[in-house]
Structure 1
């Protein structure tokens, strides 16, 4: 797969100095920027999916009028968190 170039970005000298100060030993500015862009794209995708699920849930509520008490929702979320935590702890042998 061919790569392409992102446009050059002009920044204040202070920002560039701050960036250079936090780079890893073998890390380049280009690698840092590519990683930052990749993470921002992933975040925006997750954020968009979150909003789409929220909109779908809202439309489903408007269609059916069925809702769930906040305590019930929080309990289900907490149960999922607890189950995932147990799964991860069993993998590392705690």
Structure 2
């Protein structure tokens, strides 16, 4: 498979120095840039899927009429937290 090139990125010299300052030993700027892009793609894909699942769940709850108001759920969660045993150092 042929490789493709991502367009060059013009940045402020101070920003470039910041980037170079966080490179790991032996890591190239290109490798850092690629890893950063892959991580951001992963994060955005996961976020998009999370939102889609939430919207689908809300739609199912709306259609079924079976849902819990946010304030009611928060109250229930607060009560569960209050009733749970405390760990040492929580105080």
Query: Where on the TM-score scale, by shorter chain, does this alignment land: which range?
Result: 0.7 to 0.9
Structure 2 length normalisation: TM-score? 0.73
Counterpart residue number, 1:85? none
Task: Confirm or deny that 1:48 pairs with 2:48.
Answer: yes
**TM-score with structure 1 setting the length:** 0.71
Question: How big is the shift at 1:15?
Answer: 0.5
Which one has a larger percent helix, Structure 1 or Structure 2? 1
Q: Equivalent residue for 1:38?
A: 38
How many residues were matched structurally? 73
5+ unaligned residues in a row in structure 2: which ranges? 81-91
| In structure 1, distance between residues paired with 2:16 and 2:25 | 16
Runs of 4+ in 1 over 4 A off after TM superposition: none
Residues 39-86 of structure 1: CA distance to partner in whole angstroms, max 9, x if unpaired?
Answer: 0000010000000001101111110111246347xx8xxxxxxxxxxx
